[in-house]
């Protein structure tokens, strides 16, 4: 006699998933149940399909079903949950040890350079306390649209220059400070990540806040980050902060691959004399930093008097300019692409 699907669900209600404190049916972990004369097959949705503790859950479910239906084959297919990030192929975190090194400028222009090479790109402003992406993309005052699905509200990212954008700066008064404790900030980041309808994305570039705090840990420990890019300036005094940022990503509790180091403001090149290079802070420090940390050196980004102006006007420099700066960001984008 072929067991009914309803009876299968009744049996599986006795299987408790302790991390979430409920049974696997009420937690909506059981999907696509198929029953045959000698077979019961279903998908089991798990946060981490590679977790060895899942084996205990599988064994319990099989035992309960065999006790109820006899010696039938039980085929359990572990499946990751379908989320708004399910179609995002790679999450790239752009980080720095301290503020003022041009991390957001690097993140924004990297996103543009990836999009200009034909990839589907999204960008999230994770600098909760000092969001700058809306200004640099010229979308100040724009608000993401929302829609309801399954009793939950989702946001549609604002699009500019072919890039899908989300930032807390689009949803709060930019003149008001965010006086939030760590848990509130990490909760905001989680909502931006999981409640935004990203659709199909090749690269989701995350502009991180400076330092090694709660936001960095939240992103690293709760999401599958494909790799991190660390931004520095050439001054040797910046190296201590670079080391802290690199060691954070290397820490066993974080374990995010470091794609490499970017040296921003590596030299000054006048826009009317693009062949000239003035190493104001000294030459080769970025490569020395990367070698000492044992990570790849990705690119040295020159200074140009128009970069800041472009960002203030809401037009990323790489989008409509040629020359050494754009070439440097294109080189950086190619290295990221080659890595994956």
Question: Do 121 and 48 share a structural domain?
Answer: no
pLDDT in tens, 252-310: 777 889 999 999 999 888 888 878 888 888 888 889 999 999 999 999 999 887 887 88
Q: Are residues 292 and 146 in the same domain?
A: yes
The tally of domains found in the chain comes to 2
Domain closes at, from 48, 79, 110: 79
Q: Kind of pairing, strands 152-156 and 145-149? A: antiparallel
Q: What is the pLDDT of residue 174?
A: 64
Instruction: For residues 108 and 66, state if they share a domain.
Output: no
What share of the chain in percent tops pLDDT 90?
A: 50
Per-residue pLDDT at 175: 65
Task: Quote the distance between the C-alpha of residue 12 and its chain's center.
Answer: 35
The pLDDT of residue 1? 65
pLDDT 10s digits, 62-106: 999 999 998 899 999 998 877 888 899 999 999 998 888 989 999
Residues 158 and 191 in one domain: yes
Rounded CA-CA distance 88/287 in Å is 31
Report which DSSP code applies to 206: E
Q: Which residues pair with 156 in a beta bridge?
A: 145
Averaged over 29-57, what is the pLDDT? Answer: 89
**What is the 8-class DSSP label of residue 161?**
T
Q: Confidence band (pLDDT; 50, 70, 90) for 225?
A: very high
Q: Residue 330 — pLDDT band, cuts 50, 70, 90?
A: very high
In this predicted structure, the answer to whether residue 338 has a pLDDT above a threshold of 90 is yes
CATH classification at residue 125: 3.40.50.300
310 and 251 in a common domain: yes
Q: Does residue 197 surpass a pLDDT of 80?
A: yes
Per the structure block, which two tokens stand in for 323? 């020359």
Between CA 208 and CA 218 the distance in angstroms is 11
- Per-residue pLDDT averaged across 160-171, rounded? 90
Instruction: Decide which of 79, 109, 140 is a domain's last residue.
Output: 79
- pLDDT digit string (tens) for 7-42? 999 999 999 998 888 899 998 899 999 998 889 999
178 pLDDT band (50/70/90 cuts)? low
Higher per-residue pLDDT: 279 or 123: 123
Verify that 103 and 18 share a domain, yes or no: no
Which run of H or of E encompasses 290?
helix 285-293
| CATH assignment at residue 72 | 3.30.300.130
End residue of a domain, out of 37, 52, 79: 79
Banded pLDDT at 313 (limits 50, 70, 90): confident
pLDDT of 255 reads 80
CA atoms of 323 and 207, how far apart (whole Å): 24
Same domain as 143, residue 36: no
Task: Identify whether residues 22 and 132 lie together within a single domain.
Answer: no
3-state secondary structure of 192: helix
At 206, is the pLDDT very low, low, confident or very high (cuts 50, 70, 90)? very high
Mark whether 217 and 236 lie in a shared domain: yes
Residues 49 and 150 occupy one common structural domain: no
- Domain that includes residue 102, residue range: 88-339
pLDDT, one tens digit per residue, over 126-163 is 887 778 899 999 998 889 999 998 778 999 999 999 99
CA torsion sign for 72, 73, 78, 82 is negative
The CA–CA distances, whole Å, from 296 to 161, 203, 204, 292, 311 equal 29, 20, 21, 10, 28
φ, ψ for residue 92, nearest 5 deg: -115, 115
Residues in the chain: 340
Spatial CA neighbour of 80 closest among 43, 49, 54: 49
**What pLDDT score was predicted for residue 105?**
93
Asked if the model's pLDDT at residue 179 lies above 80, the reply is no
Tell me the average pLDDT across 311-339.
88
Both 294 and 224 in one domain: the answer is: yes
Residues 237 and 268 in one domain: yes
């Amino acid at each position: 006699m072929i067991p009914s699907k309803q009876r299968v669900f009744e049996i599986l209600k006795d299987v408790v998933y302790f991390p979430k404190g409920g049974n696997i049916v009420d937690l909506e972990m059981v999907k696509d149940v198929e029953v045959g004369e000698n077979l019961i097959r279903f998908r089991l949705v798990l946060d981490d399909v590679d977790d060895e503790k899942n084996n205990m859950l599988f064994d319990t479910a099989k035992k309960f079903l065999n006790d109820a239906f006899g010696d039938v084959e039980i085929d359990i297919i572990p499946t990751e949950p379908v989320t708004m990030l399910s179609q995002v192929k790679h999450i790239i975190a752009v980080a720095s040890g301290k503020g003022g090194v041009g991390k957001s400028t690097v993140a924004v222009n990297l996103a543009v350079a990836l999009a200009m090479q034909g990839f589907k790109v999204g960008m999230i402003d994770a600098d909760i306390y000092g969001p700058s992406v809306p200004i640099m993309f010229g979308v100040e005052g724009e608000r993401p649209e929302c829609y309801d699905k399954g009793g939950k509200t989702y946001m549609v990212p604002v699009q500019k220059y072919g890039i899908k954008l989300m930032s807390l700066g689009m949803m709060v008064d930019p003149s008001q400070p965010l006086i939030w404790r760590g848990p509130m900030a990490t909760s905001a980041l989680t909502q931006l990540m999981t409640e935004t309808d990203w659709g199909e994305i090749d690269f989701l570039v995350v502009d991180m806040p400076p330092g090694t705090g709660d936001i960095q840990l939240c992103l690293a420990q709760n999401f599958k980050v494909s790799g991190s890019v660390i931004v520095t300036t050439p001054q040797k005094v910046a190296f201590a902060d670079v080391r802290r940022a690199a060691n954070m990503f290397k820490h066993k509790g974080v374990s995010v691959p470091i794609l490499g180091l970017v040296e921003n403001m590596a030299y000054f090149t006048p826009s009317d004399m693009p062949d000239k290079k003035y190493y104001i802070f000294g030459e080769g420090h970025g490569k020395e930093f990367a070698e000492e940390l044992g990570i790849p050196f990705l690119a040295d980004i020159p200074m140009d008097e128009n970069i800041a102006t472009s960002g203030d006007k809401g037009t990323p420099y790489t989008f409509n300019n040629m020359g050494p700066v754009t070439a440097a960001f294109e080189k950086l984008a190619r290295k990221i692409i080659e890595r994956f």
